[in-house]
């Protein structure tokens, strides 16, 4: 190979992986943890994880080269989640990504002092995970699904879509510590619209059928929650069967046939989480990294 061809080959290789090359200059491999509130991966989880990996690769972090991801499928029991968070800390990992408010709180409590990257938190300020979105002030930062204005908008959408609506039920996972904030934020807006708001808490999947049946004759808000998202097809089918107009916490429900959603897709949260990992691995403190929140609406056709 002549000198010119060699230079061209090297230049092409650098263009393909410039960021990864810089990240690996030190030769250090970082180990990070991932805490997911399900007992085993589902298809939606595989798509979400690929969004995370893509975001990490774009920033120069490649599994098997300079990064190892330790995943724990923790289920929905908070105590089990805390135990697995402690297990991750003991490996050790340099940070933990956690999905959903319950798992995020469990990661914080089970691995005190370790940086925690939120994925799809309910409301980090309202649930006590962060002082403010702009300056979290503790060990937790990341992406947030819903603030007070987003929750109010969900109620407004139902009021506009359903003539003479009088009652709205709110489906929530009873284990989610953000529920009180969620319900209070929606109640405030519902009262100004002349709506009665009913809270429906479920603890296990088997309670979903009866819970949604209770919303018949009114409308329904399905709050963002990993347990619900994993069963979105069944939940949408139940709302259609019961003829309950519904607004959902993620647009994936609309893809499954639901009426409308108002909040960003889960893929955005997973990919955006990669930027938080990148900042922390490069030395930034969670207390100083602003959390991200994005909302959007969509309707089925």
Give the pLDDT mean for 287-299.
74
What gap in Å lies between CA 140 and CA 123, rounded to an integer?
Answer: 12
Question: Is residue 210 domain-shared with residue 277, that is, in the same domain?
Answer: no
Residue 235 neighbours by CB under 8 Å, 6+ apart: 208, 212, 222, 228, 253, 258
Q: From the CA atom positions of the chain, what is the Rg in Å?
A: 21
pLDDT, residue 241, reads 93
Does 112 share its domain with 220?
no
Segments forming the whole domain that contains residue 160: 148-262
CA atoms within 13 A on the CB side of 200: 22
Rounded to an integer, the average pLDDT of 81-105 is 96
Residue % of the chain over a pLDDT of 70: 87
| CATH number of the domain where residue 249 is located | 3.40.50.2300
Q: In the prediction, which pLDDT does 12 show? A: 41
CA angle 225, 53, 76 (to 5 degrees): 25
Indicate whether 224 and 294 sit together in one domain.
Answer: no
275 and 219 share a domain? Answer: no
At 20, the pLDDT band (50, 70, 90 cuts) reads: very low
pLDDT at 146 over 90: no
Average pLDDT over residues 161-169: 94
Q: What is the distance of C-alpha 221 from the center of its chain?
A: 18
Residue 19 belongs to a domain: no
> Tell me, what's the pLDDT at 300?
52
Per-residue pLDDT tens over the stretch 213-267:
999 999 999 988 878 888 899 999 999 999 999 999 777 899 899 999 887 667 8
Residue 285 has pLDDT above 90, yes or no: yes
pLDDT for res 191: 92
Exposure of 126 in the CB half-sphere (CA atoms within 13 A): 22
* pTM (two decimals): 0.76
Q: Is residue 64 part of a domain?
A: yes
Q: Which residues pair with 246 in a beta bridge?
A: 220
Same domain for 199 and 93: no
CA 90 to chain centre: 25
């Amino acid at each position: 190979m002549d000198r010119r061809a060699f230079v061209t080959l090297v230049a092409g290789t650098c263009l393909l992986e410039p960021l990864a090359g810089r990240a690996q200059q030190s030769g250090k491999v970082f180990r990070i943890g991932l805490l997911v509130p399900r007992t085993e991966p589902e298809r939606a989880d595989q798509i979400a994880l690929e969004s995370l990996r893509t975001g990490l690769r774009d920033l120069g972090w490649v599994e098997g080269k300079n990064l190892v991801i330790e995943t724990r499928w923790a289920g929905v029991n908070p105590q089990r989640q805390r135990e697995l968070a402690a297990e991750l800390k003991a490996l050790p990992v340099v940070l933990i990504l956690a999905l959903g408010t319950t798992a995020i709180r469990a990661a914080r409590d089970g691995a005190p002092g370790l940086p925690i990257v939120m994925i799809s938190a309910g409301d980090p300020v309202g649930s006590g995970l962060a002082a403010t979105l702009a300056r979290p002030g503790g060990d937790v930062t990341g992406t947030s699904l819903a603030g007070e204005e987003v929750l109010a908008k969900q109620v407004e959408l139902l009021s506009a879509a359903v003539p003479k609506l009088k009652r709205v039920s709110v489906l929530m996972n009873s284990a989610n510590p953000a529920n009180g904030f969620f319900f209070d934020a929606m109640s405030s807006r519902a009262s100004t619209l002349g709506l009665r708001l009913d809270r429906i808490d479920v603890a296990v999947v088997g309670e979903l059928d009866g819970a949604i049946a209770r919303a018949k004759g009114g409308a329904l808000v399905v709050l963002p929650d990993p347990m619900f998202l994993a069963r979105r097809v069944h939940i949408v089918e139940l709302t259609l069967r019961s003829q309950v107009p519904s607004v959902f916490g993620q647009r994936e429900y609309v893809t499954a046939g639901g009426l409308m959603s108002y909040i960003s897709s889960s893929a955005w949260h997973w990919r955006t989480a990669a930027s938080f990992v990148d900042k922390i691995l490069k030395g930034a403190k969670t207390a100083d990294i602003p959390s991200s929140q994005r909302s959007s609406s969509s309707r089925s056709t």
